[in-house]
Amino acid sequence: MATIKTSLVEKVGYGFGDMSSSMFWKIFSYYLPFFYSNIFGLSLSQVALLLVVTRIWDAVTDPMMGILADRTETRWGKYRPYLLLMAVPFALSGVFLFTTPAATPTVKLVWAYLTYIMMMTVYTGINVPYAAMLGVVTDDSDTKTVLSSFRMFFAYGGSFIALFAWEPLCNALGGYLTPQGWNNAMLVVAAACCVLFLLSFGLTREKLHPQTASIGSDFKSLLKNAPWWILIGAALCSNLFNTVRGSTTAYFFNDVIGANVHLNLGSLSFLFYAGLFLSVGEVCNMIGVAIASPLSMALGKKSTYMLSFAALIVLSIAFFFVPVTQSGFWIMLVLQIVISLFTGIISPLVWSMYADVADFAENRDGTASTGLIFSSASMAQKFGGAFGGYAVMAMLGAFGYNTAAGAVQTPEAIQGLKILMSWIPAAVSALAIIIVFFYPLTKKRMEKIEEELAIKRNL
């Protein structure tokens, strides 16, 4: 069976797109709640409500963008043109999001809603088409996993750079606990993100041209697509796991670890801070991504996904029992390394499985609706981030977390932070295993679907 090849340049170019997205997404997911509550000046309840309410808008815009992209026809293809069109608005919306106006609390709250909704709308406008490109650059399921691995490798590389540099950038450009420092740091990151998306546009090409049916037919096909429903649940769990741990980290280091804590290694001593903890995780995510492709080819995507989450249950629970001591800090770092290896394995599998779901739909119904299917992936990512952020804010409030500058937290609040870093992610991992157990698109079944599609596409 003939397959459409992709060059190394195209794989790297495709990776640049998610490198850009992830630089923004990880800063938003891990630092935005802290920014809103400790710098911008919102209460925990206001932040929690903001994170959820804005997702109602996303629930509308994601499928709308998928439908629009599926029906776009240009000389550059269906999905790729949006990388060019939305690159500058993407960068500007990030800068606005981290701008703190000198205004009354009510005006600031309105500003927070407007800029966050704008950011998520623009994020949808560029990322739904970008993700859908995976379904039209090759027709081979294993190659899609390789492309997805390139995507996630560069995504974690971008996340590493952004997270490792974020606090030093803020400090250098105005101060970590000042609005000016955060806004100036985002200006630097946003400029880099814009360039990366433009490079992604220039280095990639669309090669498949699937037929598009009516909107009603696309929705009908989607709603009766059982693998799609299962994958939505799995993707929500994956994003919940990452968001709960990630958005808790800034609070955990601020109030459990403390400031100016150093790790000692012989004569060497280096600062143990949230950015280091998170960026080490991103490097290990990259290693996990590299492992994902050969592992899934040997075991299948479904088995690899389930085994990875089983490991995350054990590792997450272990984190709860680590003491807050010098030796404990090293254990926390080791656990972060191993946890991140497994989350790195999971990430490319999810996106590759969405491409398989699109092929399943095209083979069964004659319409790929690739953009619509990948819009659901974006929606799952955002809902996972929203519910994860909401859960963190709600639990911090329930445990009596005090957002006042220099506040000393109660033992209950400290315990809540530890639970958010351990037992909650473990529970999400268990749920993910249960959901994926029912996923029907095994390696053998996808091979049969590819053979049937090759005939239908006259390849």
Please give the tally of structural domains in the chain: 1
What's the CATH number where 130 sits? Answer: 1.20.1250.20
Q: What is the pLDDT of residue 1?
A: 45
Closest to 22 in 3D by CA, of 13, 34, 30: 30
Does a structural domain hold residue 44?
yes
Average pLDDT of the segment spanning 374-383: 74
Q: For 408-432, write each residue's pLDDT tens digit.
A: 899 999 999 999 999 999 999 999 9
What average pLDDT is seen over the chain? 89
Q: What is the pLDDT of residue 2?
A: 52
Residue 197 has pLDDT above 80, yes or no: yes
Closest to 163 in 3D by CA, of 342, 33, 29: 29
Does a structural domain hold residue 2?
no
Does a structural domain hold residue 188?
yes
Does a structural domain hold residue 346?
yes
Does a structural domain hold residue 3?
no
Q: What is the pLDDT of residue 425?
A: 96
Cα–chain center distance at 439: 21
pLDDT confidence band for 85 (50 / 70 / 90): very high
Say if CB 178 and CB 109 are below 8 A apart: no
What whole-number distance in Å separates Cα of residue 271 and Cα of residue 262?
4
Q: What is the pLDDT of residue 459?
A: 54
Q: For 156-192, write each residue's pLDDT tens digit.
A: 889 889 988 998 999 999 998 899 999 999 999 999 9
Q: What is the pLDDT of residue 412?
A: 94
Q: What is the pLDDT of residue 395?
A: 92
Residue 220 has pLDDT above 50, yes or no: yes
Q: For 308-336, write each residue's pLDDT tens digit.
A: 999 999 999 999 999 999 999 999 999 99
Closest to 380 in 3D by CA, of 224, 229, 232, 226: 232
> Of all residues in the chain, what percent carry a pLDDT higher than 90?
52
> Of all residues in the chain, what percent carry a pLDDT higher than 70?
97
Closest to 203 in 3D by CA, of 43, 18, 352, 11: 11
Does a structural domain hold residue 415?
yes
Q: What is the pLDDT of residue 35?
A: 93
Q: Which domain holds residue 395?
A: 8-202+209-456
Does a structural domain hold residue 14?
yes
pTM above 0.85, yes or no: no
Residue 239 has pLDDT above 90, yes or no: no
Q: Highest mean pLDDT range out of 194-198, 261-265, 443-447?
A: 194-198
Q: What is the pLDDT of residue 374?
A: 77
Residue 91, number of CB atoms within 10 A of its CB: 23
What whole-number distance in Å separates Cα of residue 210 and Cα of residue 354?
16
**Distance of CA 323 to CAs 120, 236, 335, Å?**
38, 31, 13
Does a structural domain hold residue 1?
no
